[in-house]
Amino acid sequence: MEQKEVSPPLRVVIRYILLQIPGFALFGLVLVLSQRWFFLPLWLFGCLMLLWVLKDVILFSMVWRSYESQEEADDPKLIDAQGVAFERLAPFGYVRIHGELWKAELISGVLPVEKGETVQVIGRNNLVLTVKKIEPGDKPLPQPEAQPNSSGN
């Protein structure tokens, strides 16, 4: 199953940058005071500020999904999505959907799903997905098409 690379919406990038400004300013203030008290060279001040920014850029790739609001996270594309069992589901376990690991529960009354088998999301209860196994002869439900983003991003 081919996984699409998901990029963060512009509003998430802006939210992340705005939340990093206070830390950046405080770090800069500490460096300015350190420069006066300990006579730090100007080049070291610049390098440390650059490293601080690089740290935030690197971390963004790992944490950007947590900056989405709950409304953004309740993506309707999750329902009917297909994924792969990360471990045996009997009836609970983990599945990989859209490149993310989710806790999942099988619909009641079905046999366990083994690791590597294909599942389809049929519901969601907070952070637990309800899934069913897609049998080789089953015709999976159609995947929802990408909806254009009406917020201008």
Cβ neighbours of residue 117 under 8 Å, at least 6 residues apart?
84, 85, 133, 134
Q: What is the mean pLDDT of residues 128-134?
A: 91
pLDDT of residue 74: 52
Q: Round to the nearest angstrom and report the end-to-end CA distance of the chain.
A: 28
Which pLDDT score is estimated for 66?
A: 82
For the chain, what percent of residues have pLDDT higher than 70? 80
Compute the average pLDDT of residues 7-21: 90
CATH architecture, range 76-133: Beta Barrel (2.40)
Q: What is the pLDDT of residue 45?
A: 87
Each residue of 37-55: pLDDT tens digit? 888 888 988 999 999 999 9
What ranges do the domains of the chain cover? 10-72, 76-133
**Length of the chain measured in residues:** 153
Confidence of residue 142 (pLDDT cuts 50, 70, 90): low
pLDDT, tens digit, 9 for 90 and up, residues 92-122:
999 999 888 999 999 988 889 999 999 999 9
CA angle 62-65-70, nearest 5°? 160
